[in-house]
Amino acid sequence: MKFLDIVLGAAAAGSAMAAPTCEASTKSKRAGKFKFVGINQSCAEFGQDTLPGQLNKHYTWPATSSIDTLLETGMNTVRVPFMMERLIPEQLTGTVNETYSQGLIDTVAHITGKGAYAIIDPHNFGRYYKEIITDVEGFKAWWTTTAALFADNENVIFDTNNEYHDMENSLVANLNQAAIDGIRAAGATSQYILVEGNSWSGAWTWVSSGNGESLLNLSDPEDKIIYEMHQYLDEDGSGTHEECVSGTIGQERLQEATKWLKANGKTAILGETAGGPNAQCIQALTGMLSFLEENSDVWSGWLWWAAGPWWADYMYSMEPPSGTAYTAILPSLQPYI
Ligand SMILES: *[C@@H]1O[C@H](CO)[C@@H](O)[C@H](O)[C@H]1NC(C)=O
Ligand SMILES: *[C@@H]1O[C@H](CO)[C@@H](O)[C@H](O)[C@H]1NC(C)=O
Ligand SMILES: CC(=O)N[C@H]1CO[C@H](CO)[C@@H](O)[C@@H]1O
């Protein structure tokens, strides 16, 4: 999402990368072909205009009970958005705030303790204190410090940043490469790294925005890059409307990106998607997930936007037990988990 994201994730069966612990806990419940299926747990990045903000006033941490309930569906991946400035407040090259970092560490430990994957998602849109990050070396340092917190946890996945936008494509490429280099420099060598593109990392504009070209040559000594794209199904692709354009808009919007992935031998994850609680959106969502499954050689999975304790009656809320999407959409998506 443009301002905040939540990701639900679950893993797919039979993949070369599935962690044994994960398979043990969730594989039997999963029907789909994906390595990762899950949810964005959105709340630690709330109150972005109030930094650092106060716990349980401006932001909070996901409810462990919500995580557990969603993992019971077979999901195996949880994306955890948080703020870069709350974790490392003084400057990019600074040190962690022990209070906030403990919240992140505890949330991640809960998720991976269940055998699921936890995605570390600095939900910053390529900005730090609202300024576009141009200090590439500083960004690398931020990532080295952050990745060191999780270097030994193989079920962690690093997401370089949420939804870069309105920046130079070359800068986005350089920041992604710096993140990869910084993460590996921290000794975190076994984990997957999700890279995101400019233009809100939209799948439908992946090629036309130039992301395909500018991000093609990212390199990782461990060869564990996964391209993270987002796709909403409303008219402007912003994820702010209940209506979906048509019952087939999902697979239509993923065509070009899928061709790019295949032509270039890359793998992707649909890191955010959602639609409103109505029959047309459900058709669009299931059509899209069927298309992803048919192309699971390049699509490793998908994550719903979003769960989290503070979403109230938000149209896309997958927070158990009564979130709009939890009751109205999730049952239709179960075959794709
Ligand atoms: C550290 O984080 C806590 C919790 O967010 C916050 O209350 C505190 O002010 C932060 N300290 C600094 C120095 O930013
Ligand atoms: C990526 O690598 C190819 C082959 O070496 C090269 O032709 C192309 O210019 C590179 N693209 C970028 C954006 O660096
Ligand atoms: C597209 C969308 O719904 N984005 C929302 C994501 O969540 C934040 C809050 O975390 C909202 O402000 C955004 O509108």
The whole-number pLDDT of residue 30 equals 74
The minimum-distance atom of ligand 3 relative to the CA of 2 is 4
CA distance 85 to 80: 15
Cβ of 55 less than 6 Å from ligand 1: yes
Q: What ligand is nearest to the CA atom of residue 57?
A: 1
Q: Which residues of the chain have pLDDT under 50?
A: 2-27
What is the reported pLDDT for 33? 82
Q: Which residues line ligand 2 (CB under 6 A)?
A: 213-214, 216-217
Q: Using CA positions, which residue lies closest to atom 1 of ligand 2? A: 217
Q: Which active-site residues does the annotation give?
A: 163, 272
User: Which residue type does 225 have?
Assistant: I
Nearest to 33 by CA among 329, 301, 330: 301
Amino acid 66: pLDDT: 97
**CATH at 239:** 3.20.20.80
Which pTM value belongs to this model? Answer: 0.90
How remote is the CA of residue 194 from the centroid of ligand 3, in Å?
21
pLDDT in tens, 3-59: 333 334 333 323 333 333 334 344 456 777 899 999 999 999 999 999 999 999 999
Lookup: tokens for 110: 């809960």
Q: pLDDT tens-digit profile of 203-232?
A: 999 999 999 999 999 999 999 999 999 999
All residues at 6 or more sequence positions from 327 whose CB lies less than 8 Å from its CB, including other chains: none
Q: Is the Cβ atom of 1 under 6 angstroms away from ligand 3?
A: yes
Alpha helices for the chain (secondary structure H): 20-26, 64-72, 84-87, 98-113, 136-148, 169-185, 211-214, 249-253, 255-264, 279-294, 324-328, 330-333
What's the pLDDT score for residue 32?
A: 73
Query: Domain of 226?
Result: 5-336
- Name which residue sits closest to atom 5 of ligand 2, judged by CA: 217
Q: How many domains does the chain have?
A: 1
- Measure the CA–CA gap between 58 and 142, rounded to whole angstroms: 23
Question: Are 289 and 329 spatial neighbours (Cβ–Cβ below 8 Å)?
Answer: no
